[in-house]
Structure 1
């Protein structure tokens, strides 16, 4: 790649460039194309190192506030005492590819591949007509996922909320985690 041993390489920047060129049909550096798999692997390895390959505390810091918000929104939507006209039918969140990886790790659905350009995670809440039970379906880039702790793609709401609760942190808990120092870590979360 023309990089000597003394130079640092930003694999994330290289991967972003490769994907942007591909998606927009732009010409790409042939050397980068040859090294695309290596570059992607280095990005995944680097990010997993930072995420401590799925450490609970690191995932709480990465997706804990989002999971807290998701729990709250899903619980409100499934609450029979909530007025139907106030229930939101669609909530959108936007993020970058590097943010999807901790989300997928926490859900137990990360395939150890870099998210493709414009990848998405979709959560759908369903209610069974006869039994009135609630279910959640998770899809990643259009493909149904089986979330860890769930038996199938259509996961009972209680099971799904249990998965979220493993990493969910309130704003107060998040601020507490942020203010900890290495020698001052708490184990009560």
Structure 2
């Protein structure tokens, strides 16, 4: 019998196939010369149990809050990424050698335990030691560098470096008629969840945070309270939890300031590589991050169908050389093979030059300049909003 979570994956998979094609990465689309890989971490414990949570004591869990899981009869957080690393090795045999070299691959992670550990587990599958790289016959593993930086300084991957212009744009969106009406529509759900969880629930994001706790507890066969049966696992709560992933990049400006700097770096690296195979010298660039990062990237590119990105969800952005540099984007959201995504106004294989034109509105300039909050701009934007509301 198919479980609810399996049905979710099937539905999402079928929806995405409408816009893409399965396994469309043959030589007819050009020679593969470079790939960016961005993935979500593996299975973890809840980050922040709710006040009335019967499973809210650490003694019920194998590791601390928000940590990558080890070995369990239900899920294997580390094993998931070890398996993904082996899969990536098979997919990118033509880009990397059978031995690890800093000249082949670069790995960056957000500065969070579960993403750092996921990257390390992934690399264990991607580059098992062989020949002269075996340093201990009893340990079939080798240390490989994973680069990171404190979240409060990271505008690229964690996207948590202070950006006043983004904070203002997000607050403005949350005051928009569309978002206000969304909250009104689900006020009954907010009230119900607040009453039963003991935590104030008043937005799609707070719904998702609670849904995520229930999902993990369900996965680990923890008996959920009776009150959850009215709202979990399907229905409005699930939809609103999925909708939360679109909030942070809902408008072009939000997308530009939240994930535009990452997209800009990816595109620039594609350009550099297409002009010179030695710049960068690596052929595979890996980012270890979160479900929000996966969703932000896909949504900014116009490729996100509402869903909850699962553990090890993986976005593959590949550069192929034909007459001109061509880009393909794939999404691997389960253990199945990835499927090509249809790039808006271009197709499943898009010239890099056209990609810049399609996404010009979300490719930012200098971080400090873009994130500076101008009082004059605030006044002008607020006047536009008021004029728009008065005309209705």
Task: Give the TM-score of the pair, scaled to structure 2.
Answer: 0.40
What's the CA shift for 1:162? 2.4
Partner residue of 1:137 out of 328, 336, 339: 328
Map Cα deviations across residues 130-176 of structure 1 (whole Å, 9 max, x no partner).
xx3221110112221011131x2122222223234331113x2x322
Change (3 A) 1:4 1:181: farther
Give the whole-Å Cα distance in 2 for the aligned partners of 1:7 and 1:148.
40
**Aligned-residue offset at 1:36:** 2.4
- 1:168 corresponds in structure 2 to 363
Of 362, 367, 373, the match for 1:180:
373
Aligned to 1:93, which of 243, 268, 287? Answer: 287
Secondary structure of the residue aligned to 1:92 is: strand
Higher relative contact order (CA 8 A, sep 6+): 2
Structure 1, unaligned runs of 5 or more: none
Checking the alignment, whether the CA contact within 8 Å between 1:11 and 1:42 is kept in structure 2 is yes
Contact kept in structure 2, 1:59 and 1:102, CA below 8 Å: yes
- Greater than 4 Å deviation, 4+ residue runs: 30-34
SS in 2 for 1:91: strand
**Coordinate RMSD, CA, aligned:** 2.9
* Whole-angstrom CA distance in 1 between matches of 2:277 and 2:245: 42
2: CA distance, partners of 1:164 / 1:95: 22
**Residue 14 in structure 1 maps to residue 184 in structure 2:** no
Structure 1 residues 181 and 114: alpha-carbon distance in aligned structure 2, compared to 1, 3 A threshold: farther
Question: 1:15 is paired with a residue of what secondary structure?
Answer: helix
Matched, 1:147 2:338: no
Q: What secondary structure is seen at the aligned counterpart in 2 of 1:75?
A: helix
Picking from 57, 73, 76, the partner of 2:272 is 76
Residue 19 of structure 1, CA deviation: 4.2
For structure 2, the residue ranges without an aligned partner over 5 or more in a row are 1-191, 333-337, 382-392
Work out the CA distance in 2 between the residues paired with 1:15 and 1:154. Answer: 36
Retained in 2: the 8 A contact 1:149–1:159? no
Q: Which residue of 1 aligns with 2:111?
A: none
Once the two structures are TM-superposed, the CA of residue 184 in structure 1 deviates from its matched residue by 2.3
Is 2:256 the partner of 1:64? no
Tell me how far 1:126 sits from its aligned partner: 0.8
In structure 2, relative to structure 1, the CA distance for the partners of 1:183 and 1:77 (3 Å cut) is: same
> How far apart are residue 182 of structure 1 and its match?
6.2
SS of the aligned residue for 2:286 comes to: coil
Deviations 1:58-100 (A, max 9, x none): 1111111101101210000100xx2548532100112211122
Check the 8 A contact 1:107/1:163 in 2, yes or no: no
Shift of the 49–106 alpha-carbon distance from structure 1 to 2, 3 Å rule, reads: closer
Matched positions, count: 175
Matched, 1:105 2:299: yes
Cα 1:134/1:85, change in 2 over 3 Å: closer
1:36 to 215, 218, 233: 233
* Secondary structure class of the residue paired with 2:284: coil
